[in-house]
Chain A
């Protein structure tokens, strides 16, 4: 069984470019979470999505960041006009249902974004 797949593993962008990070959840999982980890810091929640719906985006920066989880295909985290401060590891996690409080979240191995 494939786990949570994130690609690319490494992404280099110049300031002002756009970054698109993809996350394919585990088979049968319809809930996706995105987290960001700045260098030498902890994991910070960004957004929680179900298929075609954003449930909680309280951790998303107000500008330049957006996320989607379409009916078909992977979840996408999009960062427009990247700046150096966006350099971080971005992790995606998935779960099969709302009862994650009593079951594991499955994480991918992340996309490491470097902005030059």
Chain B
């Protein structure tokens, strides 16, 4: 599976938008981009995923670059509850049949 690169940490203020970047320059045409997050003392939680087009759901938006070599998870209005480690993961049909977690981005939300 192709690898992803994320900043180790980011900070945001409550009520402000947050843009979490992910680089995946070796992504292949059939790779899906997934985002999960892990709140303290909890299991990972699915956030969003996409293939080529931008995606929106109740939790977040996923903006995918035209060349697909990078993507951005957008939290439109950060809350204290959004403080977590965010993981950007690639999956593909016919690839490894498991999610491979990297180190992710630790998001701190300031009140």
Residues of A within 8 A of B (CB): 4, 33, 35, 42-45, 48, 55-56, 91, 93, 98-102, 104-110
Contacts and interface: CB of A to CB of B under 8 A. Distances in A.
Contacts of B92: 101
B101 A43 contact: yes
Contacts of A107: 43-45
Contacts of A42: 101-104
Most buried by B among A43, A93, A100, A109: A43
Nearest to B92: A101
Contacts of B2: none
A91 B102 contact: no
A4 B101 CA distance: 19
Contacts of B58: none
Contacts, number: 58
Nearest to B91: A101
Contact of A104 (B49, B51, B97, B100): B49
A5 B99 CA distance: 19
A101 B104 contact: no
A110 B43 contact: yes
Nearest to A112: B41
A19 to B, nearest CB: 18
B97 A105 contact: no
Contact of A109 (B43, B49, B51): B43
Contacts of B43: 4, 91, 93, 107-110
Contacts of A110: 42-43
Contact of A55 (B49, B97, B102): B97
A108 B41 CA distance: 11
Given A55-B97, A56-B98, A105 B46 contact: yes
Given A43-B44, A100-B91, A109-B42, A48 B98 contact: yes
Contacts of B104: 42
A56 B98 CA distance: 9
A45 B1 CA distance: 14
